[in-house]
Amino acid sequence: MADILIVDADTGVLSTLGLLIAAEGYVVRTATNGNDALDLARASRPDVLISDSRTPGLSGAALVREMRKDPVLASVPVILAYNGALPPRVRVFRFLRKPLRYARLLKLLHRAEQVGARRDARGHAGSWKVVRRNLKGEPKPG
């Protein structure tokens, strides 16, 4: 099953998400800040990254930018969760407003896993475009 890296400063959220996602059969690794997440990703490439946009150290957006510079990590699909203002332009698979709806997150996680696998098979590392989608019930990004 896919390896999912989850990043959130709130250890309660991190623990709950980790348990729920692991119960679906995914391998889950966690980090409480962007710097540790980048180290974990470089040590072992995740299939999907789920990150809060406001993490200590490297913010979620900065973490994604660093990953996009790395040829091994550039094609990792990222689901970036946010609360309040939408994060600045960043190349992610999807933005997801907090509080997270678990069913929506699982659906996006499954899609991200499929898209990432197809991109890896085609050798499209680093070619993510900036996603500017209006998810149901969410404001349009600036």
Classify domain 3-122 by CATH number: 3.40.50.2300
Cα–Cα distance, 128 to 130 (Å, whole number): 7
Query: pLDDT (tens digit, 0 to 9) for every residue of the chain, 142 residues total?
Result: 899 999 999 999 999 999 999 999 999 999 999 999 999 999 999 999 999 998 999 999 999 999 999 999 999 999 999 887 776 778 888 988 888 888 999 999 999 988 877 766 666 544 444 444 444 444 444 4
Name the pairing type of β-strands 94-97 and 3-7: unpaired
Interior/surface letters 57-94, b for 16+ CB within 10 angstroms, e for the rest: bbbbbbbbebbbeeeebbbbbbbbbbeeebbeebbbbb
User: What pLDDT is recorded for position 26?
Assistant: 96
Cα–Cα distance, 92 to 77 (Å, whole number): 7
User: What pLDDT is recorded for position 135?
Assistant: 43
User: What pLDDT is recorded for position 130?
Assistant: 42
Q: Token match 């729920």: residue?
A: 20
User: What pLDDT is recorded for position 89?
Assistant: 77
Cα–Cα distance, 98 to 121 (Å, whole number): 32
Question: Any idea where the domains of the chain sit in the sequence?
Answer: 3-122
For residue 74, give the 3-state DSSP assignment. Answer: coil
For residue 98, give the 3-state DSSP assignment. Answer: coil
